[in-house]
Chain A
Amino acid sequence: MLVFANPMFLWALTAAGIPLMLHMFQRRKTVVTPFPTLRFLKAAQKRSSSRIKFENFMLWLLRTLLLIMLGLAFALPVLRTTAGGSWLTRTRRDVAIVLDASYSMNYELDRGKVWDVCKEASVGVIEGLLSGDRVCVYVAADTPIPVIEKPTTEHATVVQAIRALPCLPGSSKLDETVALALHALEQQEGRREREIYIMTDGQAVPWQGFRDAAKKEEKAGAADKAAISREQRDKVSFFALLAGALQPDNACPSDVKVTPALLLAGQSARLNVRVARTGTAKQITVAVEVDGQERGRRGITADADAESSLEFAIGGLEPGIHVAKVTTPQDALPDDNEFLFLLRVRKQLPVLIAGPKEATRYLKAALAPGAADDSVKQVEAAELESVDLRDYQAVFLCDVFPLAGQSVMRIEEYAKTGGVVIVFPGDRADTAAYADMKILPAQPKGTVDIPVELAARPLKRIPNQKDQVVNFNLSLPPGTVPTVALKRVLTLGELQENAAVLVTAGDGVPFMTGRAVGRGRVFMFAVAANRDWSTFPLTAFFVPVVHQLIRQGAGASVQPTHLVPGSNIPANESIPNYREDDAIATPSGAQLAVKDNGNRTFFIESLTEPGIYTRAKAGAAQPEPVLAVNTDRFESRLTPITPQELTEWTGFKKLLTAKDPEELTRLIDEYRNGRSLAEVFLWIALLLSLLEWWFANRALRTQTGATEKMTVDLAGKVVTS
């Protein structure tokens, strides 16, 4: 609706008649000019009369339009975007401000950080409110944070609260926060204008929740709840400030993979570093530091808007836990230029062998050939109840069944929390003795004696699907077939869940089976650990097989090198050898809250702060690093959302989008007061005046006589130049 703020000036529209009046009442000054070639003038006029008429008409039209535009501009036309126009300026309103607090808001613009721009824009919105208008503030993070939960008229308090808000290290979910803000506004009584201001950097990631929700709504059909929600949503006016860079530029390490997963002293670690790039392809330098010392630096051409990878080899690591980080050069978004991770290097893998000495002799000899090797401990089956299994990387059970119930429970818990259990049968146990042990790959059915003529059996590795049990490989000299002579074997029933036959001995007879249990592994052989059942302990591959089982099984249960913020994270899986009395300190020094879920399982309630988490160790001067937490890199791939996508994803009926606070202020002003068209009319007037000048002088330009010289050549021919 077009209204005029200064309608008195509409009288100026009568000036549009001036060109016509001038034409009609013009007193021509007839300056008589004698001319010899009037006949040519007459003929020329006859030829050009239609063109001259058209030109005159166009000039009249342009001049009339020019005066109309000037008259309209001075009458200050205002275009009301809403029917409520003037009423809107006087009505009371409830306003909710949703601030995106994801780490990408720390992007540095020419005018400062996006976060600060958005906060100041929020303050500007509040300062533009009238007394009596109410405002609430929500921060969009991984989970919505109500800063001012209920709309309040205390504007100064709200401004103070906004100015004190820090930007958070995680990502954000705008859909949940907007829903919460919408809910807060709906709770208010009375008919008021409702406005929600979403202050964000304009990255697509935080908005994706809207798109997913819209898809769900579509799938669900016209469910009543969704329909009501949409109806309520349509009553609210949304303003989105997308204050981020339109063409952002960022490079960051997005992930680090350490191989092998289980690092032993003296072994080299290979780091696969992924670098995410937003913007054009760029040469960047990536550096790796371990314990504060640079251990590698390499240049890489990071591909445009893609991920690239490069590798580093880190050798000579001492046993212990090393804090390492990958860094990329400082850029506009500094929060993601460091990627922290832990390198856990072990001196050796402690092993417990349980069983009678005659059954474990070969095994002990294979694992601890030197008498001084204290990494292998041998205990009797009865002692299993008193030994803390968590001190060992692997536990061998050699002819120990039947076991006491307490021991069975401890072994099962040990396996589930990441331990490796390797079972060798023996003559002591009958099939029923294994029944209590539920973690075995299969329940034994009995034993079978093998005739001498059938004793020699080739061992064959059966590849299990995607090596989900263990990446097992028999290390043998090339060209030989591992062969074992069997006297007796254990026959097995049906394989349990997550179990697989890993090695067969001739015609499909299971020789070794394996099973993933929790985070641990359980392996079971079909023969005893001594030479009573087979020649296996005497073969050349017995030692490498046993070593590989320990190492690879242990590697599968290694704690992650780094984590991303989250909640309800299992402490046992994340923190090595976690005990309930451990005090974990966050990077800022606070104590990490760990919840006991019973059954000896612990969960970290909320892991939000990026950095190195430490655990105080008795007798150690320095606390031990246990966790490396990095901000997730979802938002490091800076992809601005377009206004079209925004409208499409959110489905907001009334959504106004601004690129900077000034535009937001203008949009608010236009929304509440209407849009002034005076400037537009003045621009049109300027355009028309230029057009008129061009048109009026066109004849002069095309008249070459004004500048051209007509000369006569010697042949008498007229030459124009």
Chain B
Amino acid sequence: MSDEGIGAYLNPAQMSKLNRLALNSRYVVEGTLAGRHRSAQKGASTEFADHRSYMPGDDLKRVDWKVLGRTDKYYIRRYQDETNLRVYLLVDRSGSMNYTSGEHKTKFNYACTLAAALGYVVLKSRDAVGMYIYGEKMDAALPCKNSFNELNNALKILQGYKPAKGTAGADVMHQIAESISRRAMVIIISDLLDDQPEIIKAIAHFRKNHHDVIVFHTLDPVELSLDIRRGAEFEDLETGERMIADPRAMAKEYKDLMGAFIEDYRKSCSEMKVDYRLVKTDEPVDTFVRAYLEERKRLSR
């Protein structure tokens, strides 16, 4: 197995688990190719959409003769267009993503693996996948392609990045929201450790542009529980600030704060009809993706 590209993140066994899965959009999308996702455009398909009055120049084959017989007026039958899905993966490589409690991957590595898994699923469904990598700024913007080679190249590029020092997640997300012109699916893979209201605004920006947004809030288990048994001098991964603390003494307060932080994101996402998922880095990626997609499929019925 190659150590580059998708092979660096997923092994064949994991890929085979993901083979029959599909990532469906909950909203209409605007693709460039014909596909199995509902399009905002009317076009040629078997699924009836609506009628409109006949206008000179329209193809006579599309006149609804039955309606003409009943109403003595000319109407054109319109059909729902079906197009392919464009999925944009936003991978956060801010400084805080460089954290691991020791037993698992860093959050950044996990995010990369998750991006690879999702990209693989999307391409298997003959949809297109693009990628944005950002840290303190927009690092890379890879356009949507429905080719495994393109995904492989994108992942190689991702592999070349290390976590940055700081973060500018909200600004970059606004920038990305502006750059995606047509309705698509946006998947944000980040720990969201930035200015929370600004991040929420950025997510809202995507929704404003009619994108189907999924947020994978990626966190290390220790970040959630503060299960650290010894006091130490803690150094912030982004600001470099240090403090001496005994985690045992303040675990309860910490967990309260962290719980409130997560709950705020969850509530905001729910209000914006954004699919929010908390992902812990101790969960196997393939299992998580599989469980998530199955659940999404079940809920969309």
Contacts and interface: CB of A to CB of B under 8 A. Distances in A.
Q: Do A and B come from one complex?
A: yes
Given A36-B96, A47-B253, A712 B280 contact: yes
B239 interface: yes
B236 interface: yes
Contact of B229 (A30, A43, A706): A706
B200 to A, nearest CB: 15
A224 B251 CA distance: 78
B295 interface: yes
Nearest to B220: A36
Contacts of B138: none
A716 interface: yes
Contacts of B259: 718
A315 to B, nearest CB: 89
B244 A718 contact: no
B148 interface: no
A30 B233 contact: yes
Contacts of A720: 255
Nearest to B229: A706
Nearest to B241: A38
Interface stretch (B57-65, B78-86, B202-210, B260-268): B260-268
A40 B238 CA distance: 14
A710 B243 contact: no
A710 B263 contact: no
A439 to B, nearest CB: 104
B144 interface: no
Interface size class of B (residues with CB under 8 A): 35 or more
A296 B251 CA distance: 82
Interface string A693-708: 0000001101111101
A32 B99 contact: no
Nearest to A714: B295
Interface in B193-214: 193
Contacts, number: 134
A31 B252 contact: no
Contacts of A37: 96, 193, 223, 258
Contacts of A699: 246, 248-249, 251
A48 B249 contact: yes
Contact of A716 (B223, B226, B243, B278): B278
A717 to B, nearest CB: 6
A122 B118 CA distance: 95
Contacts of A44: 250-251, 253-254, 256-257
Interface in A89-121: none
Contacts of A52: 246, 249-250
A600 interface: no
A721 B260 CA distance: 17
Interface in A17-39: 28, 30-39
A718 B99 contact: no
Given A36-B238, A38-B243, A712-B278, A705 B233 contact: no
Contacts of B254: 40-41, 44
B243 A32 contact: no
Interface in B215-254: 217, 220-221, 223-230, 232-239, 241-254
27 contacts: A30-B233, A31-B230, A34-B98, A34-B99, A35-B234, A35-B235, A36-B95, A36-B99, A36-B191, A36-B237, A38-B235, A39-B236, A41-B243, A41-B245, A41-B250, A42-B243, A43-B253, A44-B253, A45-B253, A48-B252, A52-B246, A700-B229, A700-B248, A708-B225, A710-B224, A712-B280, A716-B276
Interface of A: 28, 30-45, 47-48, 51-52, 55, 699-700, 702-706, 708, 710, 712, 714, 716-718, 720
Interface of B: 95-99, 107, 191, 193, 217, 220-221, 223-230, 232-239, 241-259, 261-263, 266, 269, 276-280, 291, 295
Given A45-B253, A55-B249, 14 more contacts: A32-B233, A32-B235, A33-B228, A35-B236, A35-B237, A36-B98, A36-B220, A704-B251, A705-B255, A714-B295, A716-B217, A716-B266, A718-B278, A720-B255
A-B interface, 4 closest residue pairs, ranked by CB to CB distance from nearest? A705-B225, A36-B96, A44-B253, A38-B236
